[in-house]
Structure 1
Amino acid sequence: MTKPKVLISDKMDPNAARIFEERGCEVDVITGETPEELKARIGEYHGLAIRSSTTVTREILDAATNLKVIGRAGIGVDNVDIPYASGKGVVVMNTPFGNSITTAEHAIALMMALARQIPAANTGTQAGQWPKKDFMGVEVTGKTFGLIGAGNIGSIAASRAIGLRMKVIAYDPFLTEDRAIEIGVEKVDLDTLLQRADFVSLHTPLTDETRNILSRERLEGARPGIRIINCARGGLIDEAALKDCLESGHVAGAALDVFAQEPAKDNPLFGAPNFICTPHLGASTTEAQVNVALQVAEQLSDYLVNGGVTNALNMPSLSAEEAPKLKPYMALAEGLGSLVGQLAHGNLTKISIEREGAASELNGKPITGAVLAGLMRRYSDTVNMVNAPFLAKERGLEVSEIRQNRDGAFNTLIRVSVETDQGTRSVAGTLFGNEAPRLVEIFGIGIEAELKGHMLYIVNDDKPGFIGRIGTMLGNHGINIGTFNLGRRDAGGEAVLLLSLDEALDPAIVAEAEALEGVKMVKGLAF
């Protein structure tokens, strides 16, 4: 049997090549090639291991006639055209957890540097000024460390802060009370965290939900004298507002490893008082670089030799025989998970995935993975059908799978229910013609709708004239309605409306819809 052939096109730890060879792959290490040289070479390889220097474009993928898998040693995959790779049948993997310890330690290092004003003191001392009287630091012992995001990296940062005898509080929509106890933190809401914390460290991905999570309003409303650390993603903080708060003294100090625009060669924060920064060094340690190189070698060789799938960004964990039958079910499951994730308010504690009828006879793991991927995509930029169950477990989210063999109103049905601190919410869907996913129930109200593109969800009183009002309002703004889906609990009671739109709504238009007579809730959705 011919051995799979792998190309390592970026500099990596030499042990990565050794792992490929030990696991039955041929490997070439050829780095620093131009795109044209890589394009000419790539056709003979089954696997490609990269870091950030190699860009895998459509042209390279077209030339990669034997390529089966791309492995990124690290988290970010902006240098890979994933949709095009998917169309070519190429699996794309990353190693999202290989630099967790390194990033957490960098956050703690920046916290200590802030507390004792080390960079400025170093500069003054080396300039011969001996500025001892200019710097009065603060101890971290006994202070409150606030985590925004308590996942893998956040929980490691928490353990380090606890070791420094700090009190740790955390805000994370997926953090359960049991998980909070396990990692030794107190679970709080975001406003409480900003009022109580002495130091705030961000450990959340950049999503629509977290963009500018530290907005001007939140920064100005935070506890005076707070110090802020960000080693997660640029764009989580309103940088202009942070500068103003540093200059006013409301924020006592800030340390950033990441910026909204990188490389950050010109930024409004540069020169601000009590501001320190590093050039995205969170993953830059010898150990982290070794870890991600070894992990990508293990993952790629396992896939090429044994068919195992780990941390794939564009492929669920399932066999070739199951794939055609499961594909529409997974599309339905991901849509239902995304819907309930966008609409369920409060902290999620439990999720139940119920399969009824024909769906109960299928492999439930890919369906569960698809539900969790849809549910958690609003909160994580690296989630996929493979690692979503791991991320849910890491956050203490209790997941249950239920098979029902009973006959129901539908030949096949998937129901997704979540428990939050505000109660239980559930949605259900089926397949039309065994291939077309359809929503058939939302929070106990029957409705039929496709879940795709941009949508507007409205809860309103079932009173005459409402449909005309919402249609007129959208028409006045030039918003085209694709489909119009209605459901109600009973005549004259609570009704729901799902509109598919040709474009996402501006927040001002959503606010205008909320102000319409009879409206109880409005939410823009994206699938």
Structure 2
Amino acid sequence: MPKVLISDKMDPLAAQIFRNRGVEVDEITGKTKDELIAMIGQYDGLAIRSSTKVTKEVLAAATNLKVVGRAGIGVDNVDIPAASAAGVVVMNTPFGNSITTAEHAIALMFALARDLPEADKSTQAGKWEKNRFMGVEVTNKTLGLIGAGNIGSIVADRALGLKMKVVAFDPFLTPERAIEMGVEKATLEELLARADFITLHTPLTDSTRNILSKENLAKTKKGVRIINCARGGLIDEAALKEALDSGHVAGAALDVFVEEPAKESPLFGTPGFISTPHLGASTNEAQVNVAIQVAEQMADFLVNGGVTNALNMPSLSAEEAPKLKPYMALAEHLGALVGQLEGDAVQAVSIEVEGAAAELNIKPITGAVLAGLMRVYSDTVNMVNAPHLAKERGLDVREVRHDREGDYSTLVRVTVKTAAGQKSVAGTLFANAQPRLVEIFGIKVEADLDGNMLYIVNEDAPGFIGRLGTTLGEAGVNIGTFHLGRRAAGGEAVVLLSVDQPVDVALKPKIYGLPGVKTAKALRF
């Protein structure tokens, strides 16, 4: 039974979902880093919010860990490269608190437009300063959206309902998607110059850090109002204070800060500034939603192999997993075959699918090929860290789909590029479930890839099979299956045979000593 640790406070429904799905769960919160390191080794999954820091040291101690699930969007507290290198899937729940965060941004926009916090404070002090709080309407104003993903699109929808004009800057926003959203796609420069309100909805990356820098703030329209419910670090806070003090920026509302919890900030007390303590996801509905989502996703992965909202491997739904499982087994075997035969010589790899395989999600098939291929370099490789290892080795990876119909109803081909040229292996599924090799380096051969095997390239000549059988028999090696293929009569031939025990190193010279043998390698699947 898989075992999961919930290390941050989470709605009780999460633990119940784990148990209902056959996953053992412990709810132990508030542990220090050292305490977490001491206990993490016994768990297959770790469910967190924002408090637990999943560092390289924690991952090094998590010898059984397979998945980290973040109940929420941001994963700043997870070392994703270290998790990928360790073969640990990292998931988040990008949709559980989307509406809540979008609504908070809209609420802050209204608060800025009508100066609600200061008006409330003044009124409760008995001042009744009606003329002091002259606000602005949002109707017919231009909202500049930096980031048009899930949350940004919800904000755009709400803003359009308020009769605002919406311009959006997002490098990944296609013209078609912009039309569908009802927004105008713009460059950052255009957005800064035109927007009456700017709201940010983008992750914090090297390209978005300080996207509202001092220089960019200076390019904004005078009197602009800025809202950030996304991530601290997207705005240069010192530059924002200068812009507020000078009056160039009429108001700013931040729910997130560079340093959190934000006990001190140069922005505090600045006229026109509103702040909230990272409340974007803080509604009862959102807390329940993300807890349910993370538990369901992690349980699907640990029980059924489904991968949803993963940040370091392709998604694979629980419905897709059973259909793809035999293909992934085939792909991993093909990758392992070329990896063992070509090893360090591989410079690039191409994964081609045709027939029924071409209609499937190819990403898990590619991940399985790389997992098999990279196993020659690491005995802890899996679909998560295989692409990481391949990138480290500088391998160029290519995926190809073919609509054509070939000799088989479904086919997966793996081609590797080496200094000596290209070599490929291909396989199919028998009865839609049984992986079978059907071609190796241009030679047709049908073989199961399983257990201990021996691969031999020899000259096709009478008596070879008998001599090989005698040699193995004298060495006490029992043959399980025997598969043959050749280019042409009297030409190059291939022997793939399974044996009941690993081939002893001392046997290899005897096999090479047989007349006509060109290559002999022991394989393991």
TM-score normalized with structure 2 length: 0.61
* 8 Å Cα contact 2:349/2:416 also seen in 1: no
Change (3 A) 1:164 1:434: farther
CA RMSD of aligned residues (A): 3.7
2:438 aligns to what? none
Map residues 144-183 of structure 1 onto 2, 5 A cutoff: 144-183=142-181
Change (3 A) 1:298 1:164: same
Change (3 A) 1:433 1:261: farther
Alignment match of 2:253 (pick from 248, 252, 255): 255
Alignment match of 2:97 (pick from 96, 99, 109): 99
| Residues 1:365 and 2:362 are matched in the alignment | yes
Structure 1 residue 198, shift from structure 2 partner: 1.3
Instruction: Return the alpha-carbon distance in structure 1 between the equivalents of residues 313 and 176 of structure 2.
Output: 31
2:446 aligns to what? none
Instruction: Return the alpha-carbon distance in structure 2 between the equivalents of residues 324 and 92 of structure 1.
Output: 25
Identity of aligned residues (%): 67
Alignment match of 2:243 (pick from 238, 242, 245): 245
| Residues 1:112 and 2:110 are matched in the alignment | yes
1:204 aligns to what? 202
Change (3 A) 1:247 1:283: same
Change (3 A) 1:199 1:307: same
1:290 aligns to what? 288
Structure 1 residue 45, shift from structure 2 partner: 2.9
1:70 aligns to what? 68
* 8 Å Cα contact 1:316/1:369 also seen in 2: no
Map residues 26-45 of structure 1 onto 2, 5 A cutoff: 26-45=24-43
| Residues 1:189 and 2:198 are matched in the alignment | no
* 8 Å Cα contact 1:357/1:404 also seen in 2: no
Map residues 53-452 of structure 1 onto 2, 5 A cutoff: 53-58=51-56, 60-317=58-315, 321=329, 322-323=331-332, 359=352, 365-366=362-363, 402-403=401-402, 431-432=417-418
SS in 1 for 2:257: coil
1:282-324 deviation line (CA, Å, top 9, x unaligned) = 1111111111111110011101110111122333357663357
Instruction: Return the alpha-carbon distance in structure 2 between the equivalents of residues 10 and 39 of structure 1.
Output: 15
Instruction: Return the alpha-carbon distance in structure 2 between the equivalents of residues 435 and 14 of structure 1.
Output: 58
Change (3 A) 1:224 1:80: closer
Decide which structure has the larger Cα Rg and report it. 2
2:430 aligns to what? none
Structure 1 residue 190, shift from structure 2 partner: 1.9
Instruction: Return the alpha-carbon distance in structure 2 between the equivalents of residues 102 and 434 of structure 1.
Output: 58
* 8 Å Cα contact 1:147/1:202 also seen in 2: yes
Change (3 A) 1:212 1:31: closer
* 8 Å Cα contact 1:68/1:89 also seen in 2: yes
Instruction: Return the alpha-carbon distance in structure 1 between the equivalents of residues 33 and 224 of structure 2.
Output: 47
Structure 1 residue 77, shift from structure 2 partner: 2.9
* 8 Å Cα contact 1:257/1:280 also seen in 2: yes
1:19 aligns to what? 17
* 8 Å Cα contact 1:366/1:385 also seen in 2: no
Change (3 A) 1:315 1:177: closer
Unaligned runs of 5+ in 2: 317-324, 339-347, 368-382, 386-398, 405-411, 423-525
* 8 Å Cα contact 1:317/1:385 also seen in 2: no
1:455 aligns to what? none
* 8 Å Cα contact 1:356/1:413 also seen in 2: no
Amino acid at match of 1:365: I
* 8 Å Cα contact 1:316/1:366 also seen in 2: yes
Amino acid at match of 1:140: V
SS in 1 for 2:131: helix
Change (3 A) 1:243 1:84: closer
Change (3 A) 1:241 1:17: same
Structure 1 residue 156, shift from structure 2 partner: 0.2
Change (3 A) 1:385 1:137: farther
Amino acid at match of 1:168: V
Amino acid at match of 2:219: G
SS in 1 for 2:230: coil
Structure 1 residue 253, shift from structure 2 partner: 1.1
* 8 Å Cα contact 1:204/1:233 also seen in 2: yes
Change (3 A) 1:431 1:279: farther
Change (3 A) 1:141 1:24: same
1:337 aligns to what? none
SS in 2 for 1:134: coil
1:138-186 deviation line (CA, Å, top 9, x unaligned) = 1111211111111111000001111112121212222222211211112
1:447 aligns to what? none
Change (3 A) 1:435 1:237: farther
Structure 1 residue 402, shift from structure 2 partner: 5.0
Change (3 A) 1:240 1:63: closer
Alignment match of 1:48 (pick from 46, 63, 67): 46
Structure 1 residue 325, shift from structure 2 partner: 5.8
Change (3 A) 1:32 1:261: closer
Instruction: Return the alpha-carbon distance in structure 2 between the equivalents of residues 70 and 139 of structure 1.
Output: 44
Structure 1 residue 76, shift from structure 2 partner: 2.9
Structure 1 residue 38, shift from structure 2 partner: 4.0
Instruction: Return the alpha-carbon distance in structure 2 between the equivalents of residues 139 and 6 of structure 1.
Output: 50
